[in-house]
Chain A
Amino acid sequence: MLNFSELTRSFHYDFLMDALHFPEWLAVTTECVFIGIILLLLYSLLALFYIWFERKVCAAFQCRLGPNRVGPWGLLQSVADMFKILIKELISLKYVDKFLFALAPYLVILASMLAFAVLPWGNGLQIIDFNIGIFFLIAVSSIGVLGILLAGWSSNNKFTLIGALRSGAQMVSYELSIGLSVLTMVLFAGTLEVGGIIEAQKDVWFIFSGHIPAIIAFVIYLIAGTAETNRGPFDLPEAESELTAGYHTEYSGIHFGFFYLAEYLNLFIVAGVATLLFFGGWMPLQIPGWEAFNNIMWYIPTPIWFIAKAIVISFIIIWFKWTFPRLRIDQLLSLEWKYLLPINLFNLVLMALVVVFKWHF
């Protein structure tokens, strides 16, 4: 099967070092620049796709057509929207902390971009695969809340401050659930390395092999992930009917666009991590005993597997948003601290037992 690591290796050794006679440091730098550019492109393309996708999905739920004028099936609508955001004026406000106000959107976008580094896009197609991959992912995704808090505080607006404080309380709480449900799966896989986790799902995905604890962990992860991305029914930090637009009320132009992009990219990251932990990452669907079927599945390129799975999971998260009403802040916190956290801890013990006594498949 196609392994992308061979491609990158040949690019490094055969093309850059042998053909162009680059020294080692220059070759690595060139690759980093390449990857940076590709990442940025991918980032904006994915965001554009997600904006279009959400609008179409929500239109379907609401008996509407959704965007259908710009380009075929309205595909270019989000491109046009993004172009509009790019050319909009950045309104500079009086009485704000200018430096922090400008810094906040970059922090938010930085957090989601760093998380991209460890996502397994395909067989061997991963920017960095190191032994603490999952730990790194959880660490960098926590930077986002800093950006939101800064945005809310530096705007010097009461609505944004309330939005930011809500967001802080929400993110800090739900990070626990995310962390614990991820830990449950790490325990099952026995490694923090992304590649290792995927390798362990070669025959059966964790959601099938991990028994009840894996399913519980998945459900909790999905709920907490929705909360982490500030999406409905957990969209309190930007609850438009309460706080107009929450922490990003005062932002305009591309700075607002950054928050907007980051929201959709976080959706993708949450779905991508769920894919990695529960649905085998880029691993094709394998059913033990069905040799012919398994072989056919391998003919579908692995990046397609990964992206398709992530989109299916994000579809579920979008489905939540357009169906459920919003929770209230105290209900949101009691859901986390009174229900999800104890269940999660219990689940972790259960998973340990499953691993120790080898109750899994």
Chain B
Amino acid sequence: MAEDIKEKIARLFPEAEYQEGDIAQITVADKDWHRLAMTLKDDSDMDFDFLVTIVGMDWKDAFGCVYYLTSTSTNRHISVKVLAPDREKPMIHSVADLWAIATIFEREVYDFFGIVFIGNPDMRRLFLSIDWKGFPFRKDYDMNPEINPVPLESERQSDFTDVYTEDSEGNVTRREERVFQPDDFVVNIGPQHPATHGVLRFRTAVDGETIKKIDVYMGYIHRGVEKICEGLTYPQTLHFMDRLDYFSAHPYHHCLCMTIEQAAGIEISRRAQVIRVLMDELSRIASHCLFIGTYCMDLGATTMLFYTLRVREQILDIMERTCGARMTFNYDCIGGVMQDLDKDFVKDVKALLEVLPANIKEYNKIFTGNVIAKNRMEGIGVLSKEDAIQWAVSGPSGRASGWACDVRKTDPYSIYSELEFDEIIRHEGDSMARFKVRMDEMEQSARIISQLIDNIPEGEYCVKVPKVLKLPAGHWFRTVEGCRGTFGIYIESDGATSPYRLKIAPPCLPLAAVVDHITRGNKIADLITIGGSLDYIVPDMDR
């Protein structure tokens, strides 16, 4: 941590503890937390305006949260550990008033750990059903299926949410509040709906065609990946990364492998680095291709899907020849990659690079310039830069709002610092900008690939790693640029063969959370435009 920040915090919060590291950590008690958070966010020297994630923790003697913060102006990182020592009634003050996205992040922590956030306007469960007994991420959670049997009847629904408030004497009281007004006309969009791109549900209050409020209801494909990982060895956790955002399988694998390699002190070969970056960028093109196709289809232009799938098919064929799979690749492994490149890899990729520019030109010709498409997308769902940071909307959607949030540029990992490419930034912040950013990013990815494809170094594709991999006690947090935004992995180890806690910070959760904010006052059809342009993937947010 920079010395100036350290001194300032030591002066203002004498009880806070420091721990230096990759990302410095401040440990603070709950009573000081909200004041510290305000200082971190509003102090002009610190300006930590981007809440990357909140990691809920159960350290057995106490519950707590680890907040990861980033300053978008100075690109400095900091983490804050807040303890909630009362195991019976764990409580932490909410920071939802400082970072808007905290409303959702805190709900997730509440859902998993039962930590109540005082002041959060919406303290419901996020993923699990409202009648779920117990909090599954607590270390003393009873997994007995008889406690939470598979329900044979429809899940109970509630139109109420809890709000915990604290009076001046420190007494916390619970209050019930309505999610919708009694006379609202609420339309259920999802969970089975063609435009939600998976099983996501928007409870939408409408006035005619105009949207008044949206309650995002998730958890339909919550699989408890993080919890499962706590019982598996490190190599076994890898394959779950294919099953989050299945279009960013390679970058996600890359992230987890990097985190584990960093923790275990494994140095991987240059060849493996190049292969990983190549795969990341190929999957970025494939992902954006699919985005363009499905987005146009959401807007009613069905034909575009087939044009974009042609390119995506070609990439999947390349992947299949090397990885042996078209969807769940499971290619990156600890120490490098699973197997060497296919002998035709270079030839195939060059063929792809040759057809890609012509295809992008065709997409623009068919769709981008179309007057109906322009009317549907321009000025719709405008997200300002401040709001994008407030809601942690990263990736192409954040960059469309003018926020330079590409992790490949801000915190270059692997070999990205040696590569030449531009970070695509637009300032309109509307659906059209989000669409165009992705269109242009495909060209930049192609540029990266063309720099690497002729110089893939010789060497081993996977270094030797111990058969039984144990990480030293400690914690690590790494982010990569997934196809949809900043993807982070937090690992806390107690020295065993499996993680004590593995937290996934997905980019799609903020993307879904911001929908309510930017659709208010728009039309129902705009919900489809906006949702499509944000391009969330449901398994990624649900995990």
Binding site for B on A (CB under 8 A): 58, 61-64, 158-159, 162, 166, 232-233, 235-236, 239-244, 322-331
Contact = CB atoms under 8 A, between A and B. Distances in A.
B264 interface: no
A242 B528 contact: yes
A239 B188 CA distance: 16
Contacts of A325: 296, 299-301, 367, 370, 372-373, 376
B223 interface: no
A327 B303 contact: no
12 contacts: A64-B306, A239-B300, A241-B299, A241-B528, A242-B195, A242-B525, A243-B524, A323-B301, A323-B303, A324-B370, A326-B299, A328-B376
Given A239-B525, A240-B194, A322 B302 contact: yes
Contacts of B376: 325-328, 331
A324 B185 contact: no
A331 B300 CA distance: 15
Given A158-B187, A325-B300, A242 B524 contact: yes
A162 B194 CA distance: 17
B526 A328 contact: yes
B193 interface: yes
Interface of B: 185, 187-188, 193-195, 206, 209, 296-303, 305-307, 310, 366-367, 370, 372-373, 375-376, 523-528
B521 to A, nearest CB: 13
A162 B524 contact: yes
Nearest to A330: B523
4 shortest interchain CB distances as A-B pairs: A326-B300, A325-B299, A325-B301, A62-B306
Given A241-B195, A242-B524, A327 B298 contact: no
Contacts of A64: 306
A241 B528 CA distance: 7
Contacts of A159: 187
Contacts of A233: 300, 372
A63 B188 CA distance: 36
A162 B209 contact: yes
A58 to B, nearest CB: 8
A329 B211 CA distance: 14
B402 to A, nearest CB: 26
B369 to A, nearest CB: 12
B306 A327 contact: no
Given A58-B302, A322-B302, 17 more contacts: A58-B303, A61-B303, A62-B302, A62-B303, A63-B306, A158-B188, A162-B524, A239-B300, A239-B525, A244-B194, A322-B303, A323-B303, A324-B370, A325-B296, A326-B376, A327-B375, A328-B525
Contacts of B524: 162, 242-243
Nearest to A236: B525
Contacts of B185: 158
Nearest to A64: B306
A331 B370 contact: no
A326 B523 CA distance: 14
A235 B303 contact: no
Contacts of A326: 299-301, 372, 376, 525
A300 to B, nearest CB: 34
B300 A63 contact: no
Contact of A244 (B193, B299, B367, B527): B193
B342 to A, nearest CB: 26
A156 to B, nearest CB: 14
Given A240-B194, A327-B375, A232 B300 contact: yes
B372 A324 contact: yes
A207 B299 CA distance: 34
Contact of A241 (B300, B307, B373): B300
B375 A331 contact: yes
A292 B523 CA distance: 59
Looking at B188, B299, B528, which has the most chain A CB atoms within 10 Å of its CB?
A: B299
Contact of A324 (B206, B300, B306): B300
Looking at A241, A244, A322, A329, which has the most chain B CB atoms within 10 Å of its CB?
A: A241
A241 B195 CA distance: 5
Nearest to A61: B303
Looking at B188, B296, B367, B375, which has the most chain A CB atoms within 10 Å of its CB?
A: B375
Contacts of B367: 325
Contact of A328 (B188, B301, B523): B523
A243 B194 CA distance: 9
Contacts of A235: 300
A173 B496 CA distance: 70
Contacts of B307: 62-63
Contacts of A328: 375-376, 523, 525-526
A63 B527 CA distance: 30
A235 B525 CA distance: 12
B543 to A, nearest CB: 26
Contacts of A62: 302-303, 305-307
